[in-house]
Each structure stands twice: as C-alpha cells, then as structure tokens.
C-alpha cells in the first residue's frame, strides 16, 4: 500500500518541487502562463472531458451538491474559530473554504483513480471555482457580479462541453484531438505554477498558519462525511469527495487577498502551512480511502 500511495503522490509533489526549485534558482514570473492556463488550457480540459461520451451530468448531481456543502460547511466551521482567535474573518475563512481542487485535486484524482475519475474531479473543481468567484468575492466585496461570471472562460467551456454532450454532437476527430492536447497542458502547468508561487510566501504569522493547516482538512473532512451521509454518496465518488475535503488552501486565496488588500501576508502564510501539511495529510487520506 505504501508503494501505491507513493506512486500517486510523488508525481504531484515532484512537479510542485520542480517549480519551487527552478523559481528559487531563477526567479520566474508565471503571470502570463497562469492567465493562459485559466483562459485556454483548463477550459480546453473541461471541454474535452465534458464533451466526451462518458460524461453524464445526472450522475454527478449529488456530488456537485456535496461539494457545495463541503465548501460552505468549512466556512461555517472556520467563522467562529476566526472570531474567537481575534482574526479577520475575511482573512482566515476563505482559505479554509477554497482549496486546491485544480492545482492538486485534478492531478491527485488522475494519478489515484485514472482518467475515468476526471469527470467527477472536474465537477468538484467547477463547483469550488464557481463558489470562489461568487460567495468568495461577495465575502470580500459585499456584493456579487453576475455579468462577470458569464465572461469566465471556465464557465463558457462548461456550458459548451455540456451542450455538445446533451446534443450528442459528434466532434470532428482532429478537432477533439487538438482540444485534448491543449487540455493536457493544464494539470502539469498548475502544479509547476503552484511550486513557483510557494517561493514568494513567508513564515510570518505562523500561529494562524498552523491552526489553518489543521482546521482546513479537519473541517473539510467533517463536511464531506456529513454530505456523503445525507446524499448517499458512495464508491468512487465518495473517495473523490473525501479527497476533495482534505485538500489544502488554494494559492488563488493569496491572489484574491492581494487584489482586495485583505492582509495578503497572513493569507499567504495560511496557504503555505496548509500546503506543507498536505505532504502528510494527503497520503494518510489516500491510504484510508483506497
């Protein structure tokens, strides 16, 4: 079992480490690459998976609801913790809610369960991202921007992929291959970019970082178990939901905090400690669910 777990997590952490080492050796600006990944490569991956004949939306309805329960439930658990600790809710709660479902969740699903698990993993990723850009932004600004959502490449890709799937449209083979190749860039680039981003995160506010590193997987796991029980989720979807629940805080939390001038240094510390702790928590959870 130990060898199997190592085979799953090693490619993920090795690519993150490669990004970290390279950026420490040669400081690297990944802003253009990250923009391309969000605007081109990840949407291509979404279209490629959703437009495939194996994707059936109805099969993932309960999983999508469970993902929402995990994200929102984690926030409800973290809210009183932040208040008791005397920290700003806008600083501590979002990293507990919005996790690395893209940078880490998709690669882990792929390496642990194979390509057959990608549709379910993408559903989890899309729900988390949609909530991040709605509930997350509303938490920061106090209001929503529905029109901005309609311009999100990932949402457009989701609608396009679902449209092709529902209409049972046969995509021209070479075109499907080209879109698939673009999508294959997304996952390794996510991991490498995560490693690069980690070089800019410091160790200040370590108390918040340590508590966040513990609370993030614990609250997510608790919410995932409750959601699975309420919605009757089992099998492979249960395994993916549990893994989704214990993922570390997303680096995007730091970017959003920086955008809104919401204590980005403290958020960066929470993200750093959470991702460092995942080196232990992810293998332990994989040993359990497998």
Q: Residue 257 belongs to what H/E stretch?
A: helix 252-259
**pTM for this structure?**
0.84
What total number of domains does the chain contain?
1
Rounded-to-integer distance, Cα 238 and Cα 285, Å: 12
| Range of lowest pLDDT (10-24, 74-88, 153-167) | 153-167
> Which residues span the domain enclosing 230?
2-289
CA dihedral for 220, 221, 227, 233, sign (positive or negative): positive
| CATH classification of the domain holding 151 | 1.20.1530.20
Cβ atoms of 101 and 124 within 8 Å: the answer is yes
Rounded-to-integer distance, Cα 20 and Cα 166, Å: 41
Within 10 A of 215 (CB to CB), how many other CB atoms are there?
Answer: 20
CA within 13 Å, CB half, 123 = 22
| Residue 231 burial (10 A CB sphere; 0-12, 13-18, 19+) | middle
Q: Give per-residue pLDDT as tens, 50-87.
A: 786 556 767 889 999 999 999 999 999 999 999 999 99
φ, ψ dihedrals at 99, nearest 5°: -115, 175
Res. 34: pLDDT tops 90 = no
Q: Give per-residue pLDDT as tens, 93-144.
A: 999 999 988 878 988 998 889 888 988 998 998 899 888 878 887 887 766 6
């Amino acid at each position: 079992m130990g060898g199997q777990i190592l085979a799953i997590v090693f490619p993920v952490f090795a690519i993150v480490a490669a990004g970290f080492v390279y950026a420490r050796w040669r400081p690297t600006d990944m802003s253009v690459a990250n923009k391309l990944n969000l605007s081109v490569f990840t949407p291509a991956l979404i279209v490629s998976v959703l437009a495939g004949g194996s994707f059936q939306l109805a099969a993932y309805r309960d999983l999508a609801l469970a993902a929402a329960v995990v994200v929102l439930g984690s926030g409800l658990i973290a809210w009183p913790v932040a208040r008791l600790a005397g920290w700003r809710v806008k600083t501590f709660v979002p990293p507990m809610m919005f996790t690395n479902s893209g940078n880490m969740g998709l690669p882990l699903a792929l390496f642990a369960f194979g390509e057959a698990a990608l549709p379910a993993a993408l559903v989890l990723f899309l729900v988390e991202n949609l909530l991040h850009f709605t509930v997350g932004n509303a938490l920061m600004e106090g209001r929503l921007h529905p029109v901005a959502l309609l311009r999100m490449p990932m949402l457009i890709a989701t609608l396009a992929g679902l449209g092709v799937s529902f209409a049972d449209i046969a995509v021209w083979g070479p075109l499907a291959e080209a879109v698939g190749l673009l999508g294959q860039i997304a996952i390794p680039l996510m991991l490498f970019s995560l490693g690069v981003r980690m070089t800019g995160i410091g160790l200040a506010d370590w108390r918040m970082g340590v508590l966040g590193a513990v609370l993030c997987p614990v609250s997510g796991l608790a919410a995932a178990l409750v959601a699975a029980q309420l919605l009757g989720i089992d099998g492979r979807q249960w395994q993916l939901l549990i893994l989704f629940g214990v993922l570390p805080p997303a680096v995007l939390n730091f970017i959003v905090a920086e955008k809104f001038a919401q204590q980005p240094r403290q958020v960066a510390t929470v993200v750093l400690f959470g991702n460092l702790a995942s080196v232990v928590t992810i293998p332990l959870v994989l040993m359990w669910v497998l």
